[in-house]
Structure 1
Amino acid sequence: MVADACGHASIGFCLVRILRHLGSSPCRFLQDYQSVVFLFFVSEVHGRTFGVWTLLTCTLCFLCAFNLENKPLYLATFLSFVYAFGHFLTEYLIYHTMAIANLTTVGIFAGTSIVWMLLQWNSYQPLKSKHS
């Protein structure tokens, strides 16, 4: 695994993964979770789909945290944050189906992750040794 000097990237991805998982737990176990996230009724199947999608993105973050040098996996993880933020921003701005408080929470995690991953884009590539 290639990481920054203190391993902050792996710790950061694991933290985001754990928080995402904790956030999706009510989606799988509580019937009335939709009042927490959305402003309208969501069917049980849509709630479970949201929970599974969140679990999938948690897994992606976890895998990326331990394989930062894997460029395609890094890109897939980066795009998952972009897609999530774009989706929830659309729900708020266009469809008016999401509360601003929830958009703020998504924005903090996704926005920070997007900026961080862009700033660190080539930082985790293995150093090429020069052969004399």
Structure 2
Amino acid sequence: MDHLAAYLPQAPGLLPKWLLFVAVVALGNSVQAYLTLRFNKRIYCARPLDVTALSSRTFGTWTVLSAVLRVYAAYHIHDPVVYDLAIWSYAVAGVHFVSEWLVFGSAGLGAGLAGPLIVSSMSLAWMITQRGEY
């Protein structure tokens, strides 16, 4: 087990490990977005016909970019530029999901949207409140 711990972010606290965990999950979500429309249709359940192969792959690519930013933040959490980029990745994700739900009406509040909303809002709040600690 100690062998695996060497690969985890070495900065103190749980935030760097959380950032890595969310990034790994995001990479898995990206693979799913490239392979099937099923999961994106759960998020955008109010207008599932708007979910196409192209939109799903675009979503997957956007999610990979977010994951890369969060991996960098996990391992370089003391770098204020990297930290701020990770904050922005959560802010942009949150605005996207809320706007698709409340403005554009393509997302429905349910299991598909709850996860991204919870992760983006909690991570954003956590990073903002801990900014001075790193």
TM-score by length of 1: 0.83
- Structure exhibiting the larger radius of gyration computed from Cα positions: 1
Q: Are the counterparts in 2 of residues 2 and 67 from structure 1 also a CA contact under 8 Å?
A: no
- Give 5+ residue unaligned stretches, structure 1: 125-132
Which of the residues 27, 33, 45 maps onto 1:27? 33
Higher percent of residues as helix: 2
Greater mean deviation of Cα atoms: 27-36 or 57-66: 27-36
Cα deviations by residue, 1:48-74 (Å, 9 ceiling, x for unpaired): 110011011011100100001111111
Paired amino acid for 1:18: V
| Aligned-partner SS, 2:133 | coil
Displacement of 1:103 in angstroms is 2.7
Paired amino acid for 2:104: Y
Q: Percent identity between the aligned chains? A: 23
Superposed counterparts of 1:41-80, under 5 Å: 41=49, 42-80=51-89
Q: Does the alignment pair 1:13 with 2:19?
A: yes
Displacement of 1:25 in angstroms is 2.1
Partners of 1:32 and 1:105 in 2: CA distance: 15
Match of 1:3 in 2: 11
- Give 5+ residue unaligned stretches, structure 2: 1-8
Q: Does the alignment pair 1:114 with 2:124?
A: yes
User: Alignment length, in residue pairs?
Assistant: 122
Partners of 2:37 and 2:10 in 1: CA distance: 42
**Considering only aligned residues, what root-mean-square deviation do their CA atoms show, in Å?**
1.7
Point out 4+ residue stretches in structure 1 off by more than 3 angstroms: 31-34
